[in-house]
């Protein structure tokens, strides 16, 4: 049972580290952009 879970986790981990920098870059770009957009919208509405 645990070996099966380990195999699944390892496969998922391998798939995740195949392109981790893309997710990191997207997160680094999107999170500030979304927060700035929200602040901008709130500022305009006020």
Tell me how far apart the alpha carbons of residues 24 and 7 are, in angstroms, rounded to a whole number.
25
| Block mean pLDDT (10 aa), the chain, length 46 | 77 70 84 92 87
Query: Whole-model pTM?
Result: 0.40
Q: Cα angle at 40 between 36 and 45, to 5 degrees? A: 150
Task: State whether residue 19 is helix, strand or coil.
Answer: coil
Q: Report CA 2 to chain centroid distance, whole Å.
A: 27
User: Tell me, what's the pLDDT at 10?
Assistant: 77
Q: Length of the chain, please?
A: 46
Handedness of CA 15, 19, 25, 26 (dihedral sign): negative
């Amino acid at each position: 049972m645990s070996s099966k879970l380990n195999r699944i986790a390892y496969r998922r981990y391998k798939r995740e580290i195949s392109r981790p920098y893309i997710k990191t870059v997207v997160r680094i770009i999107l999170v500030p952009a979304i927060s700035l957009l929200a602040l901008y919208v709130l500022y305009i509405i006020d």
